[in-house]
Chains A and B, each alone.
Chain A
Amino acid sequence: MAKQYKAIGEEAWKNSVEKVNAELFIFTYGALVVQLVRDYEDCSAVNAQLDKMGYNIGVRLADDVFARTSMERCRDLHATAEAISKVGFKMLLNIVPTITGWSADSREFSLVLDDNPLNDFCELPPRAAQEGLWYSNVLCGAIRGALEMVYMQTEVWFVRDQLRGDDTSEIRVRLVRMLDEEVPAGDD
């Protein structure tokens, strides 16, 4: 199953996706974060805003990924983790984070990014690092948004970030609950 996702992801990256200049993308994102920091001046507010933006991106990403590949909805969280890593991240950022840190009840896992492209060219000022800015928080929002579209309510947050001095970046994903499909309102 893992091999299948890998193949799907690579095929999608090669053929189905229009590429954009990575530097342009990285610089645009950097400018965005800088502007947010200037506007809000409070790093936790910036984190929240990045998460919100990521959420709006994520809800659209889900449809996009399904449109470009022929995948069906995953049956369990293990498959979902594989799909996010090998298809989603591969298709959109051309990186494949490793999946580790499964909790005992299989409801939590970690995505470890060794080389987050958004971090290129970026250096956090000590104030931002102190105040707890998660530079790539938009990724967390995007994962949360996309999973919500496939009926999974999740919490997604950064655990470690290379920009803050850790050796790798790590995103933790926790499944809160499976959402039910809405039932049409009956005639009262």
Chain B
Amino acid sequence: MVLVYNIYIFDRHCQCIFYTEWNRANSPLAADAEANRNSKELVRGNQVLTGDGASSRSSLDGQRPPVWPTTSSSTARRISAGSSRNTAMEEEAKLVYGVVYSTRNIINKFNGKDSPQGGNPGGFMSFATSTYRLHYYEAPTGVKFVLNTDVNTTSMQPVLEMIYRNIYVEYVVKNPLFAIDPLASTPIENDYFRAVLNNYIREISSAAMPTA
């Protein structure tokens, strides 16, 4: 049984354009949603918490895990006072990116295959701590997928490839309204993408554990 904790998607500009979680304690999104609720700010369906917002938060109403970033809390847009940027989440995304970026670069260097164009010739796939395993997949165009699962899961490479090929490319890249800007980053705010990703991860989680 694979337990998937969360997923980050980073674009070519080192920005986190998508984050969602399914099973996570102490999530920075929980605190933020609490604050949102209290201040009666406009909250989209996907971000409302029905649970007691206590430390442990498994996907609340079972259907809609919270998603970040959203334009109501977009890092690029909100300038007004009392902005609803989730700084904790931003910091975390930056840290995660830094970790995978540096790790990938070291591995490339060890293999003698580092280049200023990046890519993953060294083949960084995952690392594990005592509590979770992080899986990494980089598409040839520079989009990076980071998936955290329980420690016992061996390889999620096929899963990540599937997510790239059949979900990201289908619903994000091929969406003409998703801006692909050589300079700026656009968060993924696409209900189809979220729904399909959700369903896929749930299927994976309840299917047999993938073997390496």
Chain A interface residues (CB < 8 Å from chain B):
56, 59-60, 62-64, 66-68, 71-73, 148-151, 178-185
Contact = CB atoms under 8 A, between A and B. Distances in A.
Given A73-B119, A151-B117, A184 B94 contact: yes
Contact of B13 (A60, A73, A151, A182): A182
Contacts of A73: 117, 119, 140
A42 B98 CA distance: 48
Contacts of A151: 117-118, 142
Interface in B144-199: 164-166, 168-169, 173-174, 180, 182
Given A67-B165, A148-B182, A181 B118 contact: yes
Interface string B100-117: 010000000000000011
Contact of B140 (A68, A150, A180, A185): A150
Contact of A182 (B12, B94, B165, B166): B12
| Max chain B C-beta neighbours (<10 A), residue from A59, A67, A71, A183 | A67
A187 to B, nearest CB: 8
B128 interface: no
Nearest to A179: B117
Contacts of B169: 63-64, 67
B97 interface: yes
A71 B182 CA distance: 23
B139 interface: yes
Interface string B2-19: 000000000011100000
Interface in B1-54: 12-14
Contacts of B101: 184
A180 B119 CA distance: 11
Interface of B: 12-14, 94, 97-98, 101, 116-119, 139-143, 164-166, 168-169, 173-174, 180, 182
5 contacts: A67-B164, A151-B142, A181-B116, A182-B14, A184-B98
Contacts of A150: 140-141
B142 A149 contact: yes
B139 A63 contact: yes
Contacts of B173: 60, 63-64
Contacts of B94: 184
A66 B164 CA distance: 10
Nearest to A60: B173
Contacts of B164: 67
B176 to A, nearest CB: 8
A62 B14 CA distance: 19
A149 B180 CA distance: 10
A59 B12 CA distance: 12
A172 B170 CA distance: 31
Nearest to A62: B141
A66 B139 contact: yes
B141 A149 contact: yes
A62 B173 CA distance: 10
Pairs A-B, 9 closest by C-beta atoms: A181-B118, A67-B169, A67-B165, A184-B14, A180-B116, A63-B173, A151-B117, A73-B140, A149-B141
A178 B14 contact: no
B180 A178 contact: no
Given A181-B142, A184-B101, A185-B14, A64 B174 contact: yes
Contacts of A149: 12, 141-142
A188 B109 CA distance: 26
Contacts of A72: 119, 140
